[in-house]
Amino acid sequence: MKVNTMPLTATDRLARAENSLLAANALSLSKVEQGLGDLWGRGVDYADLYFEVTTRDSWVLERGKVARAAFNISQGVGARSVSGENSAFAYSSDISAKAIDAVTRAARGMQLHGQDAAVDGGRDVSVQAISSDAAAYSTLEAAGGFDTVRKVALLRRLDELARSVDPRIIEVSAGLSVEDTTILTAATDSTLAGDVRPLVRLDLTVLAESNNRRSSGSGNAGGRFTLEEFDDERLLKMVRKATSVALTNLEAKPAPAGEMTVVLGPGFPGVLLHEAVGHGLEGDFHRKRTSVFNGLMGERIAAPGVNVYDDATVAQARGSLNVDDEGVAGQRTLLIEDGKLVGLMQDKISARLMNDRMTGNGRRQSYAHLPMTRMTNTFLEAGDHDPEEIIASVKSGIYAVDFSGGTVDITSGQFNFSADHAYLIEDGKITAPVEGATLIGVGNETLKKISMIGNDLGLGNGVCGKDGQMVPVCVGQPTIRIDEVVVGGAEQ
């Protein structure tokens, strides 16, 4: 029987955050307001304090046995003082009145460098709870009542299912990550917000062998829910994906090279959109004029019918946020509408400097990092075409089911992505599996070459890196047809 996972209200989430981060450390809200006042003096446009505590529990099963297990707790407070585009930041792994004094003094000292500190003084600050109906996930503990025995049993079940698919599956590795994060953010713009964020993830990697040839495949599942959601249906979906890649690639032949039509499958292939387009629509890159899309607001940057969203409100999705790390409610933001650039993702600093609205995209890896504009769940909206219709429309091309690694230049939009699961399309039918296919192009040019959009939108789990910080995200799209794509193949 599953536990009731009804989301709590913003008031309830804030109360839990205050209890875990303030009351548990003998702190009061007035002490937080005092710290903000100390940060907010002459020459400061904005300041905030960010409190966080995170517990992480991870397990790895290899060859049917527990190979690694770890548990850790991290907590701390970060203080930021902002003047124009410049931020002074200090943090402590201690949460106490003494720590608040230390980090606010350090951040303010950095901000005052070169000024006459003697004439500077703090200001009075009062904060109040933000009003938000956002409820993308519950605030139950991610483990969902699973003890150590049940966690290991879950991994063993995944291992068992993968091995039962085919005798050519010779090795299985399964990993489990369970994370609970509680955050509280308070700012000089009167913001006071809290959140309790569960996050679980299962990873599966299999190795297949036949006729002295080996091939691997992987799959994952997870989001902001509890371990109880990992029933056999979810596990089997992971297993089918991982084993299909491994077994299919045992028979793969070298991919052709040249300019051709490419069909991308639903779900994780949306990572191409995330990397080649999504980062270029983050407000800070526009503010700094380093995005290939700078100055193109209102202009066509994609084919008609292409709609792209960043949506932090997707229920239980890995990248969802009830509130971001600056206390702004998670939102659904339209970035590209019918092929035209209509919006950007913004954090507080970029929104203020660009005279734009805040979109709830201020994110940080932890209390020890500065927030910046980041994606949450970014995807291309579904269209009207049946996926089989899209495949049938292609005389000759490549069907890329999934991607592995890739690189992108944000300033030029140039990208290359390797397909780790792909097939030839011949006369409207999927035929032989191929390996070594690499898609090469420029993000905005490639978007303009989308000619068909499927009705099978899917999301894939990912980890997004930017300026050394990693945060959980989802990427996504339906099946799409892209014409005239340069494919770097493996054929000699």
pLDDT digits (tens, 9 = 90+) for 414-445: 888 889 999 999 999 999 999 999 999 988 89
Q: How many domains does the chain have?
A: 2
Q: Of 44, 127, 90, 130, give the one whose Cα is nearest residue 360.
A: 130
Give pLDDT, residue 491.
Answer: 55
Longest dimension (CA), the chain: 79
Give pLDDT, residue 43.
Answer: 84
- Is there a domain that residue 257 lies in? yes
CA distance 273 to 374: 14
Q: Which residues constitute the domain of residue 272?
A: 253-488
- Model confidence at 407, pLDDT cuts 50, 70, 90, reads confident
Give pLDDT, residue 199.
Answer: 98
CATH number of the domain that 129 lies in?
3.30.2290.10
- Is there a domain that residue 3 lies in? no
Mean pLDDT across 189-195: 95
**CA angle, 210 then 212 then 214, to 5°:** 65
- Model confidence at 117, pLDDT cuts 50, 70, 90, reads very low
222, 88: one domain? yes
pLDDT of 188 above 60: yes
Range among 6-10, 113-117, 408-412, 444-448 with highest mean pLDDT value = 444-448
Give pLDDT, residue 107.
Answer: 94
468, 336: one domain? yes
Paired strand residues for 229: none
Which range (110-124, 198-212, 376-390) has the least confidence?
110-124
147, 284: one domain? no
Give pLDDT, residue 416.
Answer: 87
Which distant-in-sequence residues (6+ apart) come within 8 Å of 442 by Cβ? 276, 292, 412, 413, 414, 415
- Is there a domain that residue 4 lies in? no
Average pLDDT over all residues of the chain = 93
Local structure of 446: helix, strand or coil: helix
Range among 16-20, 129-133, 139-143 with highest mean pLDDT value = 16-20
Helices and strands counted in the chain (H then E): 10, 23
In single-letter form, the type of residue at position 385 comes to H
- Model confidence at 155, pLDDT cuts 50, 70, 90, reads very high
pLDDT of 35 above 80: yes
CA distance 487 to 396: 13
Which distant-in-sequence residues (6+ apart) come within 8 Å of 44 by Cβ? 81, 82, 83, 111, 188
- Is there a domain that residue 2 lies in? no
- Work out the percent of the chain whose per-residue pLDDT is above 90: 83
CA distance 241 to 237: 6
Sign for the pseudo-dihedral over CA of 450, 334, 274, 216: negative
Give pLDDT, residue 118.
Answer: 42
CA distance 45 to 68: 47
- Model confidence at 404, pLDDT cuts 50, 70, 90, reads confident
pLDDT of 462 above 50: yes
pLDDT tens readout for residues 325-343: 999 999 999 999 999 999 9
Choose one of 249, 266, 286: the last residue of a domain.
Answer: 249
Give pLDDT, residue 4.
Answer: 43
Mean pLDDT across 151-173: 97
Q: Of 124, 50, 118, give the one whose Cα is nearest residue 81.
A: 50
Mean pLDDT across 8-16: 88
Task: Give the side-chain half-sphere CA count within 13 A for 302.
Answer: 26
- Is there a domain that residue 1 lies in? no
224, 151: one domain? yes
239, 284: one domain? no
- Using CB atoms within 10 A of its CB, is residue 169 exposed (0-12), middle (13-18) or buried (19+)? buried
88, 204: one domain? yes
CA distance 53 to 43: 31
371, 427: one domain? yes
- Is there a domain that residue 17 lies in? yes
Give pLDDT, residue 390.
Answer: 98
220, 275: one domain? no
CA distance 379 to 460: 10
Residue 274 CA, distance from chain mean position: 10
pLDDT tens readout for residues 175-186: 999 999 999 999
Mean pLDDT across 137-155: 92
- Model confidence at 7, pLDDT cuts 50, 70, 90, reads low
Paired strand residues for 220: 203
- Is there a domain that residue 80 lies in? yes
pLDDT of 59 above 70: yes
156, 288: one domain? no
Give pLDDT, residue 114.
Answer: 47
Q: CA-CA distances (angstroms) from residue 115 to 17, 37, 106?
A: 36, 18, 15
242, 266: one domain? no
Which range (174-178, 381-385, 464-468, 479-483) has the least confidence?
464-468
41, 165: one domain? yes
Choose one of 181, 216, 249: the last residue of a domain.
Answer: 249
340, 375: one domain? yes
Choose one of 197, 219, 249: the last residue of a domain.
Answer: 249
- Is there a domain that residue 5 lies in? no
